[in-house]
Amino acid sequence: PEFARHAYSVAAATGADFFNLPASGDMYSYPSTMNEPSRSNYIETMEVDWEIMGSTTSVHWEWFYSWLHTVDRYFSRFGGKGPRGFFLTTVPYLFPMPIFFGRDEDFKVVGPEDNVVLFKSNEWRGVTGKSHEATAREMAAKLNKREKGGLTHLYMTSDGNNALDSFYLLAEQLDEHVMIVNDETLVDLALQKHKRTSK
């Protein structure tokens, strides 16, 4: 509790720090492996966590073989209390994302309210040059080359010596048309784009 209070007090002072739930939400877990009563309880607990944190998004890990039924059994059951966003990562991470993302798609919108955004995995695991890794300059160049109007996120981990300083270096090298936004703004932009393109 003390650390949480400190983190939120700093966020209130800066106005530029935001929080979302870690993988995969309420616990370090894989909802696809739960039985139905446990999964239903987990969904309810997620909503409680979000309300306490003042957040509506979560990183989500899932086994590579279970994504398709996870959309129906889990993700599509959110959204009744407002827009929700999930940043997806496959386990093991070297496996590709499932086929329900098109080649040029960075997100999908699901749920009965059409307001749950699933963001395609976009990992930045380090700066040492191995798989899923890049220097800040290389990652900035990759983002700068993306189609204007596109939406994506970066899931940063420290596997390959990545650190917050890497992000600051990245931000310094982004072109003017690339905008960094918080998680909930990204969800809102995705829903706006979805509404425009699905008419």
74, 45 Cβ separation under 8 angstroms: no
Name the pairing type of β-strands 107-110 and 116-119.
Answer: antiparallel
Residue 22 has pLDDT above 70, yes or no: yes
23, 61 Cβ separation under 8 angstroms: yes
CA separation for the pair 44, 64 (Å, rounded): 25
Q: What is the mean predicted confidence (pLDDT) over 52-76?
A: 90
Residue 91 has pLDDT above 70, yes or no: yes
21, 55 Cβ separation under 8 angstroms: yes
Q: Across all residues in the chain, what is the average pLDDT? A: 91
Task: Name residue, tokens 């072109």.
Answer: 175
The pLDDT confidence band at residue 181, using thresholds 50, 70 and 90, is very high
Q: Which residues lie across from 108 on neighbouring strands?
A: 118
The pLDDT confidence band at residue 32, using thresholds 50, 70 and 90, is confident
pTM for the structure as a whole:
0.92
The pLDDT confidence band at residue 4, using thresholds 50, 70 and 90, is confident
Q: What is the mean predicted confidence (pLDDT) over 90-110?
A: 84
State the pLDDT at residue 47. Answer: 96
Q: What is the mean predicted confidence (pLDDT) over 161-183?
A: 94
Give 21's DSSP letter: B
43, 71 Cβ separation under 8 angstroms: no
- What confidence tens digit (pLDDT) does each residue in 102-152 have? 888 899 999 999 999 999 999 898 887 676 789 999 999 999 999 999 999
State the pLDDT at residue 99. Answer: 67
